[in-house]
Amino acid sequence: EAQVTQNPRYLITVTGKKLTVTCSQNMNHEYMSWYRQDPGLGLRQIYYSMNVEVTDKGDVPEGYKVSRKEKRNFPLILESPSPNQTSLYFCASSLTAGGPYNEQFFGPGTRLTVL
């Protein structure tokens, strides 16, 4: 089944404890992206990747890192999480960024709480 998977789905952690949220897709998609969703602020893009080893900042990259060493995986790293990073996180992918094959498909979300 074609899908975008995220792990973990739920995470409660403490300030400063490094964590990684994994994202994987099995559709051979080039474009992958991370978003956070907050009440009143909507969905905002954190980072995106056009392909392996090509990443760029979205609108809210502060406090986050990403890497794209393999086409299927795009982990989101919080090196020193803070309470203002408590949010619902989504990973998404599409075949390409531009052109006719750029319909984005979303993972189920990761709810992160930083105490």
Partner 1 sequence: KQEVTQIPAALSVPEGENLVLNCSFTDSAIYNLQWFRQDPGKGLTSLLLIQSSQREQTSGRLNASLDKSSGRSTLYIAASQPGDSATYLCAVITGGFKTIFGAGTRLFVKA
In the structure encoding, which two tokens stand for residue 32, read together? 């992958």
One of 38, 53, 59, 70 touching partner 1 (CB under 8 A): 59
Contact between residue 12 and residue 113 where contact means Cβ atoms under 8 Å apart: yes
- Please give the Cα distance from 19 to 15 (Å, whole number): 10
**Cα 1 from chain centroid (whole Å):** 20
Give the nearer residue to partner 1 in terms of CB position, either 54 or 115: 54
Residues numbered 71-90 forming contacts with partner 1, rule: CB under 8 A: 90
Give the nearer residue to partner 1 in terms of CB position, either 16 or 108: 108
The residues binding partner 1 (CB under 8 A) are 31, 33, 35, 42-45, 48, 50, 56, 58-59, 90, 92, 97-100, 102-109
